[in-house]
């Protein structure tokens, strides 16, 4: 079987996303953000299921990474605006390959290449803790693609610093998500199973005190 | 070099943790929880650094997984109580091996074995989305340790269900963290670099509506 003709659904491309408004009014904010997102975007290529801990967004057809990028950016930005810029965090898990508990059958070199993600700036400054996991299974050095991705993040113009177990990205929410999605798809061209986690923070009072959110 | 004499700090064992009270009063709740945690626990074996997105807890000496388990349980439970059981989420990243951007030099079979974690029940029912990543580098099938860990979670008595990209655990907060920590250290006996992510939800209104948080 050649993987080059597989759909995003067959490859197993999707994300889990949760948004956490630090507000008594969190239910209204989340519901408004979900409504704004479904009003603004065409969601026909997506399968969306909301669970107790987070929402699953799977891609059935179309440009997989771009659809996930549009959904995440719109949902987070809408929630931030619906809360009048109260402190908000969001956690995202992006996954390619080995859907659910299925077996992994993709072969390196037979994975469809993804288009590069582009997003318009949101005007929202974000700080994010980013982890990228190439689950290689081929005996190659799994840290190499991570260092390459960090190098590309630095070249993109956003602020990149290293902490234990995560790389901290600072910049416009859209620029941060663009870097993360493109790194994930780039590694996914060679590695059959790639997962990336991102913890995003907007309007944190500690950032405002430190003056380091920009 | 034999890894059997390495300290937790030399192996690179620690976590990142963030707590997210869905409350206007989140700053007081987080500060109270941090204070309660440092009052109740002996933190001398730990290095703790709070950043904008999350707090790093590294283990320098002592029983690594047990100290992380105690810290996480106490911090989350204290925040839940300080908020009078408003909806609260917490995100955790546990990592063993390859600290920061250092190179990975541990050899399978030369990694010190960890003691099993035990925790007293908290009385707080949690729902959690759990991911476990053996970053193997040795060409072995990386899904095998994951399936073994899921089997052990099921055998522990907590409720285990599968969703896309995550396994959902439901039970007392302490039991959930015990399963996650012990799975991570068990895989870490054979795999030099193991990361686990956990998104914990307490007192979610959607769980209360569905009646499925127990």
Q: Please check whether residue A90 lies inside any domain of the structure.
A: yes
Tokens encoding B169: 């655990």
Confirm whether B42 is domain-assigned.
Answer: yes
Which one of A12, A17, A51 would you mutate to disrupt binding with B, by most B Cβ within 10 Å of its Cβ? A51
**B51 contacts in chain A (CB < 8 Å):** 129, 163, 168
Q: How far apart are alpha carbons B24 and B22 in whole angstroms?
A: 7
DSSP string, B108-123: TT-SPPPPPP-----S
Whether B187 is covered by a domain: the verdict is yes
Question: Torsions phi, psi of B89, nearest 5?
Answer: -125, 155
Cα angle for residues B70, B71, B75 (degrees, 5° grid): 115
Tell me the C-alpha distance between A175 and A126, whole Å: 9
For residue B43, give how far its alpha carbon lies from the nearest alpha carbon of chain A (Å). Answer: 19
| Option in A24, A86, A168 nearest B53 (CB) | A168
Instruction: Tell me the sheet residues that pair with B88.
Output: B21, B202
CB atoms A197 and B93 under 8 Å: yes
In 3D, which of B148, B116, B117, B119 has the Cα closest to residue B132?
Answer: B148
pLDDT at position B4 is 67
- The number of C-beta contacts closer than 8 angstroms across A and B is 173
The tally of CA atoms less than 13 A away on the side-chain side of residue A44 is 2
Q: Do the chains contact at A22 and B20, CB–CB below 8 Å? A: yes
CATH number of the structural domain spanning residue A163: 3.30.70.930
Q: Which domain holds residue A142?
A: 12-100+122-209
pLDDT score, position A205: 86
Position A126 in a domain: yes
Asked if the Cβ–Cβ distance from A26 to B22 is below 8 Å, we say yes
Residue A117, domain member (yes or no): no
Subunit contact B20:A24, Cβ cutoff 8 A: no
Task: Output the pLDDT for position B145.
Answer: 82
By DSSP bridging, strand B55-59 and strand A194-202 are: unpaired
B30 is written with which tokens?
Answer: 């987080």
Per-residue pLDDT at A59: 95
Q: What pLDDT score was predicted for residue B210? A: 56
Residue B113, classified by CB atoms within 10 Å of its CB into exposed (0-12), middle (13-18) or buried (19+), is exposed
Q: Is residue B5 part of a domain?
A: no
pLDDT at B213: 35
Q: Answer whether residue A77 is part of any domain.
A: yes
Say which of A89, A95, A131 has its CB closest to residue B20. Answer: A89
Looking at residue A1, its pLDDT comes to 47
* Lookup: tokens for B197: 């992510």
pLDDT digit of tens for each residue in chain B (214 aa)? 456 678 888 888 999 999 999 999 999 999 999 999 999 999 999 999 998 899 999 999 999 999 999 999 999 999 999 999 999 999 999 999 876 545 566 776 677 788 899 999 999 999 999 999 988 656 566 778 888 889 989 999 899 999 999 999 999 999 999 999 999 999 888 888 899 999 999 999 877 665 443 3
10-residue mean pLDDT series, chain A (214 residues): 73 94 97 96 95 93 95 98 97 84 63 88 97 75 80 92 93 97 90 93 80 38
pLDDT digits (tens, 9 = 90+) for A166-196: 999 999 999 999 999 999 999 888 888 899 9
The answer as to whether B67 is a domain residue is yes
Task: Name the one residue in this structure whose structure tokens are 């439970």.
Answer: B77
The structural domain count of chain B equals 1
Q: CB–CB of A139 and B135 under 8 A? A: no
CB within 8 Å: B133 and A137: no
| Partner-chain residue, chosen from B103, B128, B135, that has the shortest CB–CB distance to A53 | B128
Beta bridge partners of A168: A129, A161
Which class for A135: exposed (0-12), middle (13-18), buried (19 or more C-beta within 10 A)? buried
**Distance (Å) from the C-alpha of residue B54 to the closest C-alpha of chain A?**
8
């Amino acid at each position: 079987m050649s993987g080059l003709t597989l759909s995003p659904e067959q490859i197993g491309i999707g994300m889990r996303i949760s948004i956490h408004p630090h507000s008594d009014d969190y239910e209204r904010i989340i519901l408004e953000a979900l409504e704004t997102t479904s009003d603004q975007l065409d969601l026909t290529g997506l399968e969306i299921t909301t669970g107790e801990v987070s929402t699953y967004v799977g891609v059935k057809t179309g440009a997989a990474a771009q659809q996930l990028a549009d959904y995440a950016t719109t949902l987070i930005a809408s929630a931030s605006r619906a809360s009048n810029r109260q402190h908000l965090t969001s956690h995202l898990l992006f996954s390619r390959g080995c859907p659910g508990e299925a077996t992994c059958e993709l072969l390196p070199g037979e994975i469809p290449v993804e288009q590069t993600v582009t997003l318009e700036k949101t005007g929202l400054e974000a700080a994010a803790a980013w982890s990228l996991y190439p689950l290689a299974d081929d005996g190659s050095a799994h840290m190499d693609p991570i260092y390459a991705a960090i190098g590309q993040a630095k070249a993109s113009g956003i602020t990149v610093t290293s902490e234990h177990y995560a790389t901290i990205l600072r910049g416009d929410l859209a620029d941060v998500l663009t870097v993360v999605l493109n790194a994930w798809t780039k590694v996914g061209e060679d590695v059959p199973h790639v997962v990336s986690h991102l913890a995003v923070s907007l309007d944190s009072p500690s950032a405002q005190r430190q003056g380091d959110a920009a």
